[in-house]
Amino acid sequence: MRTNSASCFASAWNKRIAGAERVGNHKTSMLQDVEAGRLPELEALVGSVVELGRLTGTHTPHIDAVYGLTHLLARTMALSRRERSERARRAASGGWQRADRVS
């Protein structure tokens, strides 16, 4: 007897949903990265899905939007990190002074 692939998929899907429900309240690794100030693992987690969609000719508008927004978040975090680092470097080297200290 052959197994219907649609019913196999539904069964696997239901097992995944049940497993996720057992995990309960948790934060994804990408959210944990962002909250800790680390850049998210964007390419491994989202970029790979976008790439697979392109390779298979599958339209992925929702994941494309998630990828774009997450990429913007990562760029903003990186820029903010560089700005903080540059300010700290200037302050440590004495190359940056407050206006009220300049004679």
Q: Which domains does the chain have, with CATH numbers?
A: 27-93 (1.10.1040.10)
Contacts of 77 (CB under 8 A, 6+ apart): 34, 37, 39
Q: What is the pTM of this model?
A: 0.58
- Compute the distance between CA of residue 40 and CA of residue 91 in angstroms, rounded to an integer: 29
Percent helix, percent strand, percent coil in the chain, to nearest 5: 75, 0, 25
pLDDT tens figures, 49-93? 999 999 999 999 999 999 999 989 988 988 888 888 888 888 888
Inter-axis angle of helices 61-93 and 48-56, nearest 10:
140
Q: Tokens for 6, please give them.
A: 């649609």
Does residue 99 or residue 39 have the better pLDDT?
39
What pLDDT shows up at residue 97?
Answer: 58
Q: What number is the average pLDDT over the span 32-54?
A: 90
Q: Which long-range contacts (CB under 8 A, 24 or more apart) does 22-30 make?
A: 30/70
